[in-house]
Amino acid sequence: MARVKRGVAKNKRRKYLLAQTKGYRFGRKNKERVAREAIRHAGVYAFRHRRAKKREFRNLWTLRINAAARPLGLSYSKLIGSLKKNGIALDRKSLSTLAKDYPESFSRLVGQLK
């Protein structure tokens, strides 16, 4: 049997692993065992936060809509309720954009609901 030397493959794998932890602090960036654990944790957090991001953005849109509706004499819940009653199918993201970037259009929309 021929002798198998594994140095090249091992170094390539180590280099790839440490490239993923670039910018991490302390031993997590240059110690293989600690780096592997750091990558595993990072993957878990990334998965979890991709789901959490959707919740956070919906909360942000709700806040923006409520903040824009209050000076016009409506609360968030009353605004959403009257939109549904009048059959206006605007999602919270587009309502938030209207409230933030086009306040006069938003106030005209609220005026139609009253």
> Which range marks the domain in which residue 17 is found?
8-113
Residue 86 falls inside a structural domain: yes
Rounded to two decimals, the pTM is: 0.76
Q: Which helix (H) or strand (E) segment is 9 a member of?
A: helix 7-20
Q: Looking at the 3D structure of the chain, how many domains does it have?
A: 1
pLDDT in tens, the chain (114 residues): 899 889 999 999 999 999 999 999 999 999 999 999 999 999 999 999 999 999 999 999 999 999 999 999 999 999 999 999 999 999 999 999 999 999 999 999 999 998
Residue 35 C-beta-side C-alpha neighbours within 13 Å: 17
CATH number of domain containing 13: 1.10.1900.20
Residue 45 falls inside a structural domain: yes
